[in-house]
Every structure is written in structure tokens, then in C-alpha cells.
Amino acid sequence: MLKLSDSVEKVPLIGPKYSKLLAKLGINSIQELLYYFPTSYSDTSEISTIADLSPLEKKTVLVTIDNVKNIRTRYRKVITEALVSDNSGKISVIWFNQPFLGKILRIGSSFLLNGKLNPNHNKAQLYSPVYEPYKGKDTTHLGKIIPQYPVTEGVTGKWLRSRIKFLLDKHQYLVEELSKLIPQNIQECYELTDKKSAILNVHYPKDKMTLKTARAYVAFEELLKIQIKLLKKQHLLRKRRGPQIKVQKHMIQDFLKRLTFNPTNAQKRVIRDIISDFSQPCPANRLLQGDVGCGKTLVAAAVSIPVVKSGFQVAILAPTAILAKQHYETMKELFKGKYKLRLITGETKKSGNEIKQKFDIIIGTHALLHRKKDLFEKLGLVIVDEQHRFGVKQREILVSQKISATAPHKITMTATPIPRSIALTFFGNLDISIIDEMPKGRTPTRTHLVPHNKRTDGYRWIEERIQKNNSQVFWLCPLIEESEKLQTKAVITEYGKLENQIFPKLRIDLLHGRLSDEEKNDKITRMKQGKTNILVSTSVIEVGMDIPGADIIVIEGAERFGLAQLHQLRGRVGRRARQESWCFLFTSENASLGAAERLKYFSKTNDGLKVAQFDLKRRGPGEVYGTKQAGIPDLKVASLTDIKLIKKTREAAEKMLELA
């Protein structure tokens, strides 16, 4: 008897060969096969007649095979031609290079066919239809609403359907053994079907209504599982004690008064949110969201003051050495020597006095995680910038390990626009603050999608702008996910082309992730000093690069980037008040129409949240946020734009945990 935990290899007609192929789809056990839900459906339930067939749409017909033959062409190809009939008439049907059909299509047998007429043939002819022998209503591939599954090379949708249907028909007890997350009272409260019906009908629905009901159950269960996990995590955190931070109003007020500029009202509001967290007995756990250039570093500096004044240390974790150094330099300028700051990157050497000194604020990359015993005596606050760029284990090290008797307060900062539905679903255990106001005087960056045939005009405009206005340019090479080496090679090639062919008179420099920290810092310093006209780079500049003089960014292969990432890259220019800035999107010659549509939308709006929401609908959370790094599971049925369902599952999770 098959068990849910058994390898799929035990299912008839799968075996070792197909089990390896299914593993590529994330299917290893029988349970995972049952949970491998369709992404779309084809409704072939309406049976038409031969007379109803047309070249405009596919239709399903039930026919009798009158004659069949294989014809070999002079080019050694095989055409299978059958003559079929029903009560409305007869028609010729052809298939290419499937000679085995000559034996399957037996004369006098009944078949379901789904296809449309060949528009290029003089006589009515059904062209390469999907076929299935008809032995009654219990069909697998035609004559009903048919599931369409994502497949991989070597696995066809037809074969996968047959294996799933075999389990549903012959081993239905397996469906009944699947664990039930949703209790009866929640099921009734939210008018959900039962789990067995949901699983059976999500694969092979009887009609459109049962399909809708089945998918509603599965979507609810997917989101409920996430909400329960988040609430449990939040509950555990609230059981722990947070460092007791003594906050006096004048601490923050004195700091803000010394600034040479006025903070925005949004910055002041967020500072109050975080300071309020410090008065709670449990550790703060807040997400601070805001566009590039909105002033998150100032907020981080301000809220660090009462922590340090209370005798605790602050750790600021950044994903790149460039961003870590940027935070370090900014805070040095803000604090004017009042606190002991330390910068730690992969290339920072240990100092003999480091252990004896107590640093107030330690800023660094993941390298500081390996030095925590040397650096931290009494950690009170952890600030993680762009946490989705760290592995889940990496970003938990400082908070989860008990460096002191208490769990430190935690603030997560991000410039990645996060729609409300994502925030509710995946950051539901965090309090959320948004800096929704930019410093006065910043003008929106003008974004232009440049057609391939207009590139030369773009080059000349940029060169003229550099010569007349001393503009500085970031020139981004396309993202190559498969290999950092390939990406480095691509950026070096582009650098050579720009330097030798396109802009031979300009000062051009090169930056990429495989350079040492010292080399990167040298190139960034030259750019800041105005010694470089164009900095050719990979997406290493996406986070933390602050060059006030840069007012143009060119993004090659823009279709390779997600819109949220493009929005962050666009934020690297126009950082001076009243400065005009431009973002030019260059696409590859073979960019798809869909990519062009995405980029056109991006060109029309500077609103990061709208951009992210649009991208989320088009590409899903896995593509937009990177599921592995962000810890976002890849939902199979639920939609992250369904805010009503997200709220319902949150409410249901709260009810369930109250009863537990």
C-alpha cells in the first residue's frame, strides 16, 4: 500500500528515470505529487460536432475512426492521416511525425479530438489535434476541465496528468490522509469546502464552480499556514525581554537641532515610532521602509543615541562594503566625534586593542557576524539594511544568540518598495513604519525607454550633457544571474566599447563585485571628486552608492531587471536638491513585447509602491523579491494581490491561536 511519505518512484510508470526528472520540479514524495497544483486549466468539456469546427478556435469533437494511414514524404517525414466522422459529417485529420498513431487509431474506435481547422488548406482539415480514446465519461485529457501543470524537459503535461489522476482514482485514501490545517469551526466560519473535495477538484474539477471552491480552499490554507507561523514567531519574541532604554526627549531634539538641514515630518514620525518601541518590555521588531534618498540613515542615527546613552551598543548590518562604508561616513558626519564608531568589512584587519575598547556603534557587512565575541559586550539594537540580501541564518545570528541576557531591539530597513499585501503576509510579525516623504527640493528623475534604433542619438545627448553641464553617469550592465564571472566579463567588454569606440574623449572607469574593497573605494572616491565622467558598473551600485554629482544613469539590458530593482537603481541619481536627473533604459534587440510593456509602465511613474504592485501582478513574489533570500515561499494558488483573503487568513490564524 502506498504511503504519502513514499518516493514517487513507487508510483506505477514513474520509476527511477522519471523520479529524477520530477525532482527538478520539487516533487520527491507522493504527498508532493498530490500538492503539485495546476497553474491553469483548459475547458474542453463542451462537445461540438465536426460541422461546428473552425480555424478560429479549438473545439472538442467525439468522432469514429473510419480510416487511418501513414504517409512517408520524400524528406523522410511521416504524416499520419485519418478520416473521422460523427452525425454531422466527415473530416480529414493529420498529425506530423507520430507514426505510432497508425496503430493507436483503430478503425471503428471512438476518440475525442481537440483542435481547430487548418486555415491554409483548401479542404476542411483538422490540424494536429490533441487526442484521447473515448471509453465513457471518465477521461483524463479531454472532455472536461483539464489541468495544465508546469513541466520540465522529459516530462510532458499529458504524462504528468496521467500519474496524478492514477493516484486520485486508485489511491483516494491518500487524499484523506493529508494533514488538515483548517479546523471545522474555521471551515464553517469562512464557508470553505472540505479538504478532500478541495484536493480532488483542484486537479480535476467537475465544473467551474467546484474549481472555484477548491482553489479558494487551497489558497486559504496556503496563506493561513504563513500567518500562523508569523503569529507564533511574534508571540515568542514578545515573551522575551528587550533592553531597557532610557529615552529623554532632549537627546533626539538636541541631535536634530545640530543638523544643517530640516528633517522631514515623515522622518520625525518614524523616529517617534521607534522610540515608543523602546518603552515596551519586549524587544522592538520594526520594518522601516522608504525610497532611496528618503533619509533612513538619519533615522538610524537618531534612534541609536538613547541606546548608546543607556549603556548599550548598536550594530548596523549592511549587505555590501560600499553601503557599510556609506553608513559609516554619514554617521561620522552626523555625530561629529561624539560616539565611538567602528567599520568592519571582509578586509578589516583585527586590531590588538579592539577587544579592550568598547565601540558604541559598529557598522559592517556580514564580516561583523564572525567578530561578535570581540566587538559586542552589551548589544542593545540591531539595524539590518536590505535584509533580503542576507541569508535567513545570517540575519538571525546577532538577534537569536544571547550576547546579553536580553534579546536586542531590531530594526529592518529597506528601500525595496513593499506593497501592503506583501507586508501583511510576509512581514506580519513586524511593526511597519514608512518614510513616505522625500527631502525638499528633490525633483523626480525623468525616465526614458530608448528603442534600439535610437541608441546613437542617446550616446550623443549624454556626451553633450557631460561636456556642457559636467554631468556624471552611472552605466549599468545587464544582470547575468547565472554567473558572477560572466557578469564581470560582460561589464569589462562594455567598458572597453564605451572607452574606445563610443566616448573616446571622456574619462571612464570600471567597477564590479570582484574588485577588492580598497579598489572599489578608490574608484568611488574618484567619482565623488569629479575625476570620472562615466562609471561603468554591475548592479553592485544598486545599494548604498551615493554620488551627489551623478545625474544620469544608463541601464543596459533593462528587461533583465525587476521593476523594484530598476526603481532602486534609478534612485542613485538626482540626489542634489533642484537637480535635474535622467534614467535611460536600453533594451536588447530580442527583448519581448511583454518586457517593453513593463518598462513603459516604469517610465511613467516614480512611485515605488505602484511600480512594485505592478511587478508583483506580472511576475509574482518569487521573481520580484527572490524567494530563497527573502524567505518568501512560492505560493501555488493564493495571490499576493488578494488583500481581502490575506486579512481573512490573518483573522483566522488569530482565532486558531487563541483557542490553542
Q: Are residues 529 and 577 in the same domain?
A: yes
Instruction: Kindly report the backbone phi and psi dihedral angles of residue 389, in degrees, each rounded to the nearest multiple of 5, phi listed first.
Output: -90, -5
Tens digit of each residue's pLDDT (9 = 90 or more) over 30-69: 999 999 999 999 999 999 999 999 999 999 999 999 999 9
Mean pLDDT of the chain: 86
Nearest CA among 307, 305, 256 for reference residue 284: 307
- Residue that finishes a domain, picked among 585, 605, 625: 605
More confident residue, 611 or 125: 125
What's the distance, CA 492 to chain centroid?
28
Residue 595 has a pLDDT of 84
Q: Are residues 395 and 497 in the same domain?
A: no
Strand segments, DSSP code E, in 265-360 are 285-290, 313-317, 341-344
Q: Are residues 38 and 24 in the same domain?
A: yes
How many residues would you count in the chain?
Answer: 660
pTM of the model: 0.71
Tens digit of each residue's pLDDT (9 = 90 or more) over 294-346: 889 999 999 999 999 999 999 999 888 888 888 999 999 999 889 999 999 87
Answer yes or no: is 227 within a domain: no
Residue 563 has a pLDDT of 86
CA distance 368 to 526: 27
Q: Are residues 408 and 543 in the same domain?
A: no
CATH of residue 348:
3.40.50.300
- Asked if residues 79 and 95 have their Cβ atoms less than 8 Å apart, the reply is yes
In the chain, the number of structural domains is 4
pLDDT category, 593, cuts 50, 70, 90? confident
C-alpha torsion sign, points 519, 566, 492, 317: positive
- Which range marks the domain in which residue 267 is found? 249-435
- Beta-carbon contacts of 261 under 8 Å, excluding residues fewer than 6 positions away, are 439
Q: Are residues 306 and 383 in the same domain?
A: yes
- Residue that finishes a domain, picked among 605, 624, 648: 605
Answer yes or no: is 58 within a domain: yes
Q: Are residues 396 and 521 in the same domain?
A: no
Q: Are residues 403 and 350 in the same domain?
A: yes
Average pLDDT over residues 128-157: 92
**CA-CA distances (angstroms) from residue 21 to 24, 31, 151, 153, 160?**
6, 16, 9, 8, 11
Q: Are residues 9 and 157 in the same domain?
A: yes
The DSSP H or E segment spanning 411 is strand 409-414
Q: Are residues 266 and 408 in the same domain?
A: yes
Tens digit of each residue's pLDDT (9 = 90 or more) over 193-240: 999 999 999 999 999 999 999 999 999 999 999 899 888 888 887 888
CA distance 387 to 392: 9
CATH of residue 72:
2.40.50.140
The DSSP H or E segment spanning 11 is none
Answer yes or no: is 65 within a domain: yes
- Beta-carbon contacts of 342 under 8 Å, excluding residues fewer than 6 positions away, are 354, 359, 361, 362, 363, 364, 375
Residue 204 has a pLDDT of 94
Tens digit of each residue's pLDDT (9 = 90 or more) over 338-371: 999 999 987 776 655 554 468 999 999 888 877 7
CA distance 294 to 571: 10
Which ranges in 441-592 belong to alpha helices (H)?
Answer: 455-469, 484-497, 517-528, 563-570
Q: Are residues 476 and 569 in the same domain?
A: yes
Answer yes or no: is 628 within a domain: no
Answer yes or no: is 186 within a domain: no
* Number of Cβ atoms within 10 Å of the Cβ of 572: 24
More confident residue, 575 or 277: 277
- Residue that finishes a domain, picked among 158, 175, 192: 175
536 in helix, strand or coil?
strand
The number of C-alpha atoms within 13 Å of 496 and in the hemisphere containing its C-beta is: 5
Answer yes or no: is 327 within a domain: yes
- Beta-carbon contacts of 584 under 8 Å, excluding residues fewer than 6 positions away, are 447, 448, 450, 458, 462, 552, 553, 554, 555
Q: Are residues 328 and 423 in the same domain?
A: yes
Q: Are residues 425 and 469 in the same domain?
A: no
- Asked if residues 512 and 495 have their Cβ atoms less than 8 Å apart, the reply is no
Residue 387 has a pLDDT of 67
CA distance 446 to 502: 23
Answer yes or no: is 549 within a domain: yes
Residue 461, C-alpha cell as written in the block: 545627448
- Beta-carbon contacts of 460 under 8 Å, excluding residues fewer than 6 positions away, are none
Helix 608-619 and helix 593-604, axial crossing angle in degrees, nearest 10: 160
3-class DSSP string for 36-85: CCCCEEEECCCEECHHHCCCCCCEEEEEEEEEEEEEECCCCCEEEEEEEE
Longest dimension (CA), the chain: 95
Answer yes or no: is 659 within a domain: no
